[in-house]
Structures are given as structure tokens and as C-alpha cells.
Amino acid sequence: MIDPITIKDVKLKLGELCRKKRQSYGLSQEDLGEVLGLSRYTIQKFESGKNATLDTVLKIVNHFGLLPSITKEIDQEIANQNNISLY
């Protein structure tokens, strides 16, 4: 039995992704917060895997160009849901 993915895991991964993306652009937490209209503290907390609001997450994700792939994923799940009774 493999250990299941937890919500905490996902939050930590999201934080890690934010940090790596941010650093790849040479931005400080302060810089990123400023362009997104968020405080440095909010970025700091997000990157360390703390809870956040969906708006904060999507602002960050959007800034790094990941909104299309997320949208695609959601659209696929919705489409998949509509077909599920056909099998």
C-alpha cells in the first residue's frame, strides 16, 4: 500500500512550485507580492505550505502562466463527468 497524497502534501508542493518559479524569474517575495497586489507575508506563508485563499493561489498560478493548463484539466474533468454514464 502506497501512502496516499494528503492535502498538506499538495499545499507544500504548491509552495515549492511558487518558490521555484519566483526564483527562476529573479524575483524576491517582496517583488512577487507587489506585482500581484499581495503582501510579502502572504507569499511567504503560501510558499511554506500554509493555508491561503483561492484568489491568492490563482493570482500566483496565473502569474506563472499556469492558468490555461489548470483550466484544461477542469474542463476535461467536467467533460469526463458528463460521459461517465455512457459506460
Residues binding a copy of itself (CB under 8 A):
5, 7, 9-11, 13-14, 16-17, 20-21, 24, 51-59, 62, 66-71, 73-75, 77-78, 81-82, 84
> What's the grid cell of residue 1?
500500500
Q: What are phi and psi of 3, to 5 degrees?
A: -75, 130
Choose between 39 and 69: whose C-beta lies nearer to DNA.
39
18: exposed, middle or buried (Cβ count in 10 Å: 0-12, 13-18, 19+): buried
Write the binding mask 20 to 59 for DNA: x where contact by CB under 7 A, - elsewhere.
--xx----xxxx-x---xxxxxx-xxxxx-xxxx-xx---
Taking the complex as a whole, how short is the minimal distance between the CB of residue 30 and DNA, in angstroms? Answer: 6
